[in-house]
Amino acid sequence: MITHSSVQIANALLGINAVSINFNKPFLYTFVSGIKGPMYCDNRRLLSHPKKRRMLVNEFVKVAKKLKFDVVGGVSTGGIPWAALVAEKLNKPMIYIRPEPKGYGRKRQIEGDFKKGSKILLIEDLISTGSSAISAIRAIRKNNGSVSDCIFIFTYEFDISKKNFSKIKCKMHPLLTFSDLVQIATKQGYLKKNESIKLIKWNEDPKHYKN
């Protein structure tokens, strides 16, 4: 459902050309999950724009204030800066979680002061299949912490991500969804109607999509 917040975030991304569209094959964009597609949403560019960055942090905080947690946790690497900004705004401790334990030093996977029994609010920048966030959730639970909520800027809304989060029993809190972004971008003329139809078709079955 399109809200004032989702319109703000979509406008912020579109305004700095953080949403790239290219239907030429082979597709230019490959996600960390291995999925290929005609669209890429580069949330990290928002970090370079102070006004937009502040707006995003405020949106994270609005959601976070409705949840119960002790520590803000950032998923490496995209979630780390947002987790730091949110933790500062809420005056909460912060940790970050690597994809795997560091191969030297103390060989930690979780960095920061992490106490057993802590309830972590996970912060990520983008969800495609959710594999990075789920790896972080498993690491937290393995180290006797708990996590039941993950806030992220954008989700492609792939069915596999919903199934993965449901399986691991963690609630998804997207600030902006793929369907809302496509709808807003089409209304504003950033996308042509035929392009939005193609994107929705790709999104429904990215592995078997034919242009």
Confidence of residue 139 (pLDDT cuts 50, 70, 90): very high
Is the pLDDT at 189 greater than 80? The verdict is yes
* Residue 196: closest CA among 6, 44, 42, 19: 19
Is the pLDDT at 57 greater than 70? The verdict is yes
Q: What is the pTM (predicted TM-score) of this model?
A: 0.94
Token digits of residue 186: 């089409």
- Residue that has been written with the tokens 């949840």 in this structure: 67
Peptide linkage before 26 cis (omega within 30 of 0): yes
Mean residue pLDDT across the chain:
93
**Amino acid found at 107:** K
Is the pLDDT at 209 greater than 90? The verdict is no
Is the pLDDT at 111 greater than 90? The verdict is yes
Cα–Cα distance measured from residue 74 to residue 97, given in angstroms and rounded to the nearest whole number: 6
Question: Are 152 and 146 in contact, with CB atoms under 8 Å apart?
Answer: no
Is the pLDDT at 106 greater than 70? The verdict is no
Secondary structure element (H or E) that encloses residue 201, with its range: helix 193-204
Q: pLDDT for 14-54, tens place per residue? A: 999 999 998 887 666 877 777 888 999 999 999 999 999 99
pLDDT at 105: 58
**Beta-strand pair 19-21/119-127:** unpaired
Domains plus CATH for the chain? Answer: 4-204 (3.40.50.2020)
Residue range 77-83: average pLDDT? 97
Q: pLDDT for 167-177, tens place per residue? A: 999 999 999 99
